[in-house]
Amino acid sequence: MTGRLVIVGLGPGAAELITPQASDALAAATDLVGYGPYLARVPERAGQARHASDNREELARAGHALDLAAAGKSVAVVSSGDPGVFAMASAVFEAIETGNPAWRDVEVSVVPGVSAMLAAAARVGAPLGHDFCVISLSDNLKPWDVVLRRLEAAAAADFIIVLYNPASKARPWQLGEALAHIAKHRAGATPVIFARAVSEPNESIDITTLAEADPARADMRTLIIVGSSATRVVARGGRSFVYTLRHAELVEP
Amino acid sequence: MTGRLVIVGLGPGAAELITPQASDALAAATDLVGYGPYLARVPERAGQARHASDNREELARAGHALDLAAAGKSVAVVSSGDPGVFAMASAVFEAIETGNPAWRDVEVSVVPGVSAMLAAAARVGAPLGHDFCVISLSDNLKPWDVVLRRLEAAAAADFIIVLYNPASKARPWQLGEALAHIAKHRAGATPVIFARAVSEPNESIDITTLAEADPARADMRTLIIVGSSATRVVARGGRSFVYTLRHAELVEP
């Protein structure tokens, strides 16, 4: 008997940002699979098995989840944010395409979630209010040259740029180089947002500029938004907000 | 007495994709403001005023909502998808910066939502599984040259490309030209997804290729995802899924 697998987006962290569709999918599962800290966000439920794994073993985790589903379980793979944005969904489909042929018979679905970039943007205003690019700075799975080429293209065409996975202990220098490349095309006063642990109790949000952005402030849990030429910081009372104009003009590269 | 204004993302359409944070914000409002069809998604509540407006008058709608809030009301501005992605949030902040100075005293917040692109991606698999760009094809507020330059940059750097506002009665030819520009850099077999009314009862999702994509199939409610060189369509049983590999290689432009 073949079971089911659903890849569930838990949103950025806060329980009130988990959709009812995600909550229902979690409640219906016999088995939960995921990175430990994400699994810890899901309330315990009697009779439900939990399989925690390391964050770096995405393909192995996907295979484990598919084995459980192929054996008849109803499996929920949990992902932070949205599962389709630098998270578990792609790994599950890759495993289905390249792995055990029995996995192809598993019924698979994806429950979207509020991604970290949308939650971070909401906290400061509307910085993603115009055309934007989303780039992971991790070079674990792609050559750094690809990252740089994409940064150059995005910066030259005046996209707002969202950077996922900006830094980790193993990748300490990438963010500085990335910001330097963007700065070749964009003014020093361009707003830059460092958003960490968005919507969680230890959330921190810093609004700075491209000239003053300190790459050392980023870690694995930080997401960075670099504004376009149409992104504005507006001071008012105690707190500033950041938004990008809905209209754009030609900016010479 | 100055009131409050919250800009609420209703998600793509289905009630089970509205977050508890959004539901709570809607329940707490004295006044709801928004485009008629989006307001119609919010359950009626005794004593709550509803202010429906035309879809094209975003800045006027924002001003109306800010007037209500400045007069002491607790206002929720509703937006489809996520309010920060080609939706109401940017217009509200623009109104605050450029409009009636009294509006600066209004307490403003944004509740993020599941954006249409995330919901569309989830329905077919994980097409946004790698670096991607999000571009509105509307030239109401930006020169078409800016759109073309961004499409060229995104296509040449092998980003997955999400197209919002691909077509309307007033803008019938833009999508065809956009796809032709992308096709200069990308194989005819590149997967293309047309997703309409995602998560609603009349949802339709078509998976096609860049060579075969028919621009006439898109309308105001359609969102389009054009794959990168690493996006794959996998047939199995009755339904195919689409995903983008987590690893990338250098692709010659």
**A43 in helix, strand or coil?**
coil
**Residue to test with chain B: of A10, A19, A86, most B Cβ within 10 A:** A19
| Count of beta carbons in the 10 Å neighbourhood of residue A66 | 25
Q: Does B114 touch chain A (CB under 8 A)?
A: yes
Whether residue A114 and residue B113 make contact (CB cut-off 8 A), yes or no, is yes
Nearest-CA residue of chain B relative to A132?
Answer: B134
Q: Does B51 touch chain A (CB under 8 A)?
A: no
Q: Which of B120, B14, B190, B226 is nearest to A84 (CA)?
A: B120
Whether residue B17 and residue A16 make contact (CB cut-off 8 A), yes or no, is no
- Phi/psi region, residue A77 (left: phi>0; alpha: psi -120 to 50; beta: rest), is beta
Q: Please report the residues numbered 77 through 96 in chain A whose beta carbons come closer than 8 angstroms to any beta carbon of chain B.
A: 82-86, 89-94, 96
The answer, as to whether pTM is greater than 0.80, is yes
Question: 3-state SS string over A3-33?
Answer: CEEEEEECECCCHHHCCHHHHHHHHHCCEEE
**For residue A139, pLDDT beyond 90:** no
Q: Which of A114, A133, A149 sits opposite B19 (nearest CB)?
A: A114
One-letter identity of residue B52 = A
Supply the pLDDT for residue A205. Answer: 96
Per-residue pLDDT of A33-90, as tens digits, reads 999 999 999 999 999 999 998 767 889 999 999 999 999 999 999 999 999 999 999 9
Q: Which of B89, B134, B149 sits opposite A126 (nearest CB)?
A: B89
Higher pLDDT, A203 or A248: A203
Whether residue B154 and residue A133 make contact (CB cut-off 8 A), yes or no, is yes
Tell me which chain A residues have a C-beta less than 8 angstroms from the C-beta of B96.
Answer: 234, 236, 241
| Count of beta carbons in the 10 Å neighbourhood of residue A180 | 12
Supply the pLDDT for residue B53. Answer: 86
Tell me which chain A residues have a C-beta less than 8 angstroms from the C-beta of B83.
Answer: 122, 126
Q: Which residues pair with A164 in a beta bridge?
A: A136
**B239 in helix, strand or coil?**
strand
Per-residue pLDDT of A37-53, as tens digits, reads 999 999 999 999 999 98
Whether residue B115 and residue A118 make contact (CB cut-off 8 A), yes or no, is yes
Question: 3-state SS string over A89-143?
Answer: HHHHHHHHHHCCHHHHHCEEEEECCCCHHHHHHHHHEECCCCCEEEEECCCCCCC
Supply the pLDDT for residue A250. Answer: 65
Supply the pLDDT for residue B111. Answer: 98
Supply the pLDDT for residue A12. Answer: 97
Place A252 in a pLDDT band, splitting at 50, 70 and 90. Answer: low
Q: What is the dihedral of CA B209, A84, A140, B163, to 10 degrees?
A: 50
Q: How far is CA A187 from CA A173, A179, B39, B78, B202, in A?
A: 22, 12, 40, 34, 45
**For residue A195, pLDDT beyond 60:** yes
Q: Which two tokens stand for residue A13?
A: 């962290």
One-letter identity of residue B110 = V
Nearest-CA residue of chain B relative to A119?
Answer: B112
Tell me which chain B residues have a C-beta less than 8 angstroms from the C-beta of A162.
Answer: none
Mean pLDDT, residues A86-99 taken together: 96
| Count of beta carbons in the 10 Å neighbourhood of residue B44 | 8
Q: Does B203 touch chain A (CB under 8 A)?
A: no
Q: How far is B225 from B244, CA to CA, in rounded Å?
A: 12
CA angle B18, B112, A89 (to 5 degrees): 75
Place B32 in a pLDDT band, splitting at 50, 70 and 90. Answer: very high
Residue with tokens 């997967």: B191
- Phi/psi region, residue A89 (left: phi>0; alpha: psi -120 to 50; beta: rest), is alpha
Percent share of chain B, pLDDT over 70: 96
Tell me which chain A residues have a C-beta less than 8 angstroms from the C-beta of B91.
Answer: 246
Q: Does B223 touch chain A (CB under 8 A)?
A: no
Supply the pLDDT for residue A253. Answer: 47
Q: Please report the residues numbered 7 through 36 in chain A whose beta carbons come closer than 8 angstroms to any beta carbon of chain B.
A: 9, 11, 14-21, 24
Nearest-CA residue of chain B relative to A86?
Answer: B129
| Count of beta carbons in the 10 Å neighbourhood of residue B45 | 11
Q: How far is B135 from A104, CA to CA, in rounded Å?
A: 34
- Phi/psi region, residue A238 (left: phi>0; alpha: psi -120 to 50; beta: rest), is alpha
Q: Which of A139, A189, A199, A187 is nearest to A163 (CA)?
A: A139
CA distance A211 to chain B (A): 24
